[in-house]
Amino acid sequence: MTIDAGSVARFAALMADRTRAAICLALLDGRAWTAGELARHTGVGAPTASEHLSRMVEGGLLAEVRQGRHRYVRLRDRQTAQLVEDLGLLAGAEEAPRRSLAGVRASRALAAARTCYDHLAGRLGTGMFAALCDRGLLGDADGTALTPQGRAWFAGLGCVLPEPDAGRRPLVRACLDWTDRRPHLAGAAGAELRRLCAEREWIAPGARPREIRVTDRGRHAFADLLGLDTAAPAEPEAPRTIRARRDTNAAASRG
């Protein structure tokens, strides 16, 4: 047996609980969260969250950094984040589109622009991907390769892209978008592009985790560079609320 069924089961079990899955999804924003934040976010007590985190770290799903009286955790690495994302995509693929009204409001902003681990997603991300393709900067039809023009475009922005090297992270990768069902730019170039956008303040963090906002400066830059229209909905943000979810947990844990 090349690979042990037991270890696969053990690893999958780390995500096979509603609370732990919620933790994984929260961590998809690429940041490190404290144990307390995650407890509040998932609506669970501190002891429970603590046990979950220990288990996930032990199992190799999360990495932790202890700092003073805080315990920070993040997804172990890019591969792990990718797995969580793929899992979310597949798990959501067949789901009926039942969503609360509050959810619609929240997801509208997320659908517009958000981060996906370390790159840009939402309509902003898919729009950029399409624009890059249109201009011949991404080649090979699927957009899984960077053309010489593409490389020049990045260089013109002052982006130093890592030399592509077999076995390392792909330079460009097409990542199917949850909300838009079209690809957005992932891979090393996607991460670099996001870093650049943040550095030049073309984007800024939104009200909720993972949500991002295109700044005025960014709107001009995206229009100039890619002919991209990033008109904002410009609605005031509702305060984030913690909702109880104990009642829904038992129901959800069953197939």
Partner DNA sequence: GCGACGGTTCGGCGGCCGCCGAAGTGTGTC
Partner DNA sequence: GACACACTTCGGCGGCCGCCGAACCGTCGC
Q: Which of residues 40-79 bind DNA (CB under 7 A)?
A: 44-55, 67-71
Q: Which residues contact 250 (CB under 8 A, 6 or more apart)?
A: none
Cβ–Cβ under 8 Å, residues 154 and 132: no
Beta carbon of residue 169, minimum distance to DNA (angstroms, whole number): 30
| Residue 160 to residue 188: CA distance in whole angstroms | 11
Q: Which class for 40: exposed (0-12), middle (13-18), buried (19 or more C-beta within 10 A)? A: middle
List the one residue out of 54, 44, 48, 65 whose CA is nearest residue 14.
54
Nearer to a copy of itself, 150 or 218 (CB): 150
Cα gap 214→207, rounded to integer Å = 12
Which residues within the stretch 15-74 sit at the binding site for a copy of itself (CB under 8 A)?
15-22, 24-25, 42, 55, 58-60
Q: Which is nearer to DNA, 215 or 249 (CB)?
A: 249
> Where is 216: in which H helix or E strand?
helix 216-226
Q: Which helix (H) or strand (E) element contains residue 66?
A: strand 62-67
Closest distance of CB 112 from a copy of itself, Å: 12
238 binds a copy of itself (CB under 8 A): no
Residue 13 Cβ, how far from DNA at the closest point, in Å?
7
Cβ atoms of 189 and 154 closer than 8 Å: yes
Contact predicate 58/147, CB 8 Å: no
Enumerate residues 153-182 that contact a copy of itself by CB under 8 A.
163-168, 170-171, 174, 176, 178-179, 182
Nearest residue (CB) to DNA, 45 versus 136: 45
x/- contact string, 11-30, with DNA (CB under 7 A)? --x--xxxxx----------
Which of residues 17 and 64 has its CB atom nearest to a copy of itself in the complex? 17
Residue 5 vs 224, nearer CB to a copy of itself = 5
Comparing CB distances to a copy of itself, the nearer of 31 and 219 is: 31
Binding partner selected for residue 47 from a copy of itself, DNA, none, CB under the kind-specific 5 to 8 Å limit = DNA
List CB contacts of 221: < 8 A, sequence separation 6 or more: 200, 202
Site for a copy of itself in 71-130 (CB under 8 A): 79-80, 82-84, 86-95, 103, 106-107, 110-111, 114
Q: What is the DSSP letter of 211?
A: B
Q: How far apart are the first and last CA of the chain?
A: 29
Taking the complex as a whole, the smallest distance from the CB of residue 32 to DNA amounts, in Å, to 10
Task: Name the site residues for DNA (rule: CB under 7 A).
Answer: 13, 16-20, 34-37, 39, 44-55, 67-71, 246, 249-250, 253-255
